[in-house]
């Protein structure tokens, strides 16, 4: 008798799409692995065989501690990984595999198909170019607009992200704007060519709490208006759950849990996710100390499950084999030996 090999997440997702008659998702990441040349004290593989998808207009939240591979995953979608990075697997976007693109095709993909906003807009903006001219430049490059039309459109875009006096602000240099306003300007620039996917890497982390909330509101509003799909990254589960339909929890280069926001909060299955939920202030008792997950992500990975040196449930079996990501309820995936 033949024993069927366990289905991969990609195969299960294929079966779901076929069963529900759903259209092909906008983005499908299949067994993506990102590695760097070996160096002392550093793991070579920073992202290990991850598979996930984003439907058109869907918001996916990616959450996990510093160093778990969130930014590397995002940079891979944009063709912006450091040159030394080795990429394996496939990134299907709108029917083509991005890992096969030429440098020229990547340049046309960026900005037009997918755009990215970063934690610190100053790293993405040109400090010696007026904000309006920078946005206009994107429109000149991708849409063939004249500089003059591009600039008028830039002013409209600044107004659409609720920047007061947009005509005046379009004449400013990035350093003349406040942090929150710079972030709005970068979002306007990212949305200039109406990309199908917006990748937002910790876009609110550097801002104070009130401005953070305003930027999240803005992203929600734009997503509803334009139906842009979003991959939203944060180390903060509370922030991610404000915006995402589905959440992917990463730990040490792997996806450990992947579910809708509702399922993840109602029924968190991975001990790491359970820990993250416990760290949220509103989940603790008033006045009680905030729970923190013991240990840190750094250092050498333990054998078997990568979370085994921090997991309260770890046993010898956990240290022997790495758990695969399995679908344990409809579209609820988890990688833990102890979850049935």
293/271 Cα distance (integer angstroms): 10
| Nearest approach, Cβ of residue 40 and ligand ATP (Å) | 12
Distances (CA, A) of 59 to 204, 208, 281, 321, 332: 16, 23, 24, 32, 16
Q: Are 212 and 179 in contact (CB under 8 A)?
A: no
> Rounded to whole angstroms, how far apart are CA atoms 84 and 81?
8
Structure tokens at 133: 């001219």
**What minimum distance in Å lies between the beta carbon of 284 and Mg ion?**
26
Answer for the pair 271, 278: CB distance below 8 angstroms, yes or no. Answer: no
Q: How far is the CB of 71 from ligand ATP (least distance, A)?
A: 3
Binding status of residue 71 toward Mg ion by CB under 5 A: yes
Closest distance between ligand ATP and the C-beta of residue 304, in Å?
19
Residue 30 is a binding residue for Mg ion (CB under 5 A): no
# binding residues, Mg ion (CB under 5 A): 2
Q: Which does 145 bind (CB under 5 to 8 A by kind): ligand SF4, Mg ion, ligand ATP, none?
A: none
Query: Per CB under 6 A, does 337 bind ligand SF4?
Result: yes
E strands within 64-219? Answer: 86-93, 96-97, 114-117, 197-201
Cβ–Cβ < 8 Å for 188, 215: no
The separation between CA 77 and the C-alpha centre of its own chain, rounded to angstroms, equals 10
State which of positions 158-217 bind Mg ion (CB under 5 A): none
CB of 71 or CB of 183, closer to Mg ion: 71
- Rounded to a whole number of angstroms, the minimum distance from the CB of residue 216 to ligand ATP is 18
Binding of ligand SF4 at residue 318 (CB under 6 A)? yes
Instruction: Please pick, from the candidates 7, 11, 66, 317, the single residue that binds ligand ATP as defined by CB under 6 A.
Output: 66
User: Token pair of 15, please?
Assistant: 């079966």
- What distance in Å separates the CA atoms of residue 101 and residue 93, rounded to the nearest whole number? 11
204 in contact with ligand ATP (CB under 6 A): no
3-state DSSP assignment of residue 199:
strand
Contact 307, 271 (CB under 8 A): yes
Choices 111-119, 146-154, 231-239, 312-320; region in contact with ligand SF4 by CB under 6 A: 312-320
Q: Which stretch binds ligand SF4 (CB under 6 A): 48-56, 94-102, 106-114, 307-315?
A: 307-315
E strand or H helix at 119, and its extent? none
Smallest gap, in angstroms, from Cβ of residue 297 to ligand SF4?
14
Q: Which is nearer to ligand ATP, 70 or 306 (CB)?
A: 70
Nearer to Mg ion among residue 71 and residue 231 (C-beta)? 71
Could you tell me the two tokens for 252? 């040490």
33-52: contacts with ligand ATP (CB under 6 A) = 36, 42, 46
DSSP 330: T
- Is 158 within 8 Å of 169 (Cβ atoms)? yes
Provide the minimum distance between the beta carbon of 273 and ligand SF4 in the complex, in angstroms, as a whole number: 10
Among candidate residues 158, 157, 140, 159, the one with its CA nearest the CA of residue 149 = 140
State in angstroms the smallest separation of the CB of 318 from ligand SF4.
3
Q: What are the C-alpha distances in Å from 236 to residues 43, 167, 177?
A: 24, 35, 26
Stretch that binds ligand ATP, among 62-70, 121-129, 208-216, 272-280 (CB under 6 A): 62-70
Q: Could you list the residues that contact ligand ATP (CB under 6 A)?
A: 36, 42, 46, 64, 66-72, 82, 235
Q: Could you list the residues that contact ligand SF4 (CB under 6 A)?
A: 271, 305, 307-308, 311, 313-314, 318, 323, 336-338
């Amino acid at each position: 008798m033949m024993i069927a090999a366990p289905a991969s997440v990609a195969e299960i997702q294929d079966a779901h799409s076929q069963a529900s008659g759903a259209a092909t998702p906008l983005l499908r990441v299949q067994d993506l692995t990102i590695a760097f040349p070996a160096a002392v004290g550093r793991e070579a593989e920073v992202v290990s065989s991850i598979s996930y998808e984003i439907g058109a207009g869907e918001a996916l939240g990616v959450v996990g501690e510093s160093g778990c591979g969130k930014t590397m995953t995002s940079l891979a979608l944009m063709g912006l990984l450091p040159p030394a990075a080795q990429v394996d697997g496939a990134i299907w976007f709108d029917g083509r595999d991005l890992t096969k693109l030429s440098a020229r095709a990547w340049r046309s993909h960026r900005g037009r198909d997918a755009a990215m906003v970063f934690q610190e807009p100053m790293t993405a903006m040109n400090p010696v170019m007026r904000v309006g001219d920078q946005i206009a430049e994107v429109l000149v490059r991708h849409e063939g607009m004249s500089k003059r039309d591009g600039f008028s459109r830039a002013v409209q875009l600044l107004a659409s992200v609720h920047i007061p006096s947009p005509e005046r602000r379009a004449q400013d240099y990035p350093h003349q704007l406040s942090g929150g306003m710079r972030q709005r300007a970068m979002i306007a620039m990212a949305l200039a060519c109406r990309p199908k996917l917006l990748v937002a890497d910790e876009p609110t982390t550097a801002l104070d709490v009130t401005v953070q909330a305003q930027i999240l509101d803005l992203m929600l509003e734009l997503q509803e208006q334009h139906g842009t799909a979003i991959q939203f990254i944060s180390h903060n589960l509370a922030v991610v759950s404000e915006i995402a339909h589905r959440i992917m929890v990463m730990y040490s280069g792997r996806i450990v849990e992947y579910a809708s926001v509702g399922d993840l909060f109602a029924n968190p299955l991975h001990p790491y996710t359970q820990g993250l939920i416990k760290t949220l202030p509103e989940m603790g008792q008033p006045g009680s100390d905030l729970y923190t997950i013991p240990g840190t992500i750094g250092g050498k990975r333990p054998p078997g499950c990568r979370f085994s040196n921090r997991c309260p449930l770890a046993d010898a079996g956990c240290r022997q084999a790495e758990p695969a990501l399995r679908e344990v309820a409809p579209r609820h995936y988890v990688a833990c030996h102890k979850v049935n």
